[in-house]
Amino acid sequence: MSPVVLDTRMPVARKAHVCDLCRRVIRTGERYEAQSNVADGSAYTWKSCAHCAVYSAVLWADDRDYLDDGLDWTVAMDYEPGALWKLRLKAQYMRQWTRKDGALMPVPRLIRCRVFCPRTSWTGDVYTIQTSRILGVTYAPAVPR
């Protein structure tokens, strides 16, 4: 059964942590995702680096049914990307987001677009729901406005 998410935070690491998804060390000063979950009657905090938080969002968007038991290292490794940008993202994940010189890769950012889906209610009325779809990722730094 899928874990129940109680809370998700993006704190700055005050000490080193290990990413639960790629298993690399989250360095002091790095922002990471801390998710409070309950599964099978026990509570735990799932920690993932900012890179893996983006990778997780892509996996969840692709394989919501397949990820019924939640996401872990083996599921992320078995993931079969259906697009070139997803393949690139998986390759970076497998390198633990670290370049050959030891430097950390930039955190990818999701490119989303709004989608309006028509639905039919039980009374037969047609209405639209608004959702979003992930189109890809970008590595460009944030542009100040």
CB 97 to Zn ion: min, Å = 6
Cα 95 to Cα 87: distance, rounded to the nearest angstrom: 13
CA atoms 94, 100, 106, 110: torsion sign:
negative
Q: In the complex with Zn ion, which residue's Cβ is closer, 103 or 126?
A: 103
CB 126 to Zn ion: min, Å = 42
CB 134 to Zn ion: min, Å = 18
Q: In the complex with Zn ion, which residue's Cβ is closer, 23 or 133?
A: 23
Q: 47 and 38 in contact (C-beta within 8 Å)?
A: no
DSSP H or E segment with residue 134: strand 126-138
**Quick one: which of 136, 126, 131 has its CA closest to 115?**
131
50 phi and psi angles, rounded to 5 deg: -60, -35
Q: In the complex with Zn ion, which residue's Cβ is closer, 52 or 71?
A: 52
In the chain, how many H helices and how many E strands? 3, 7
Binding footprint of Zn ion on the chain (CB under 5 A): 19, 21-22, 49, 52
CB 110 to Zn ion: min, Å = 16
Q: In the complex with Zn ion, which residue's Cβ is closer, 73 or 131?
A: 73
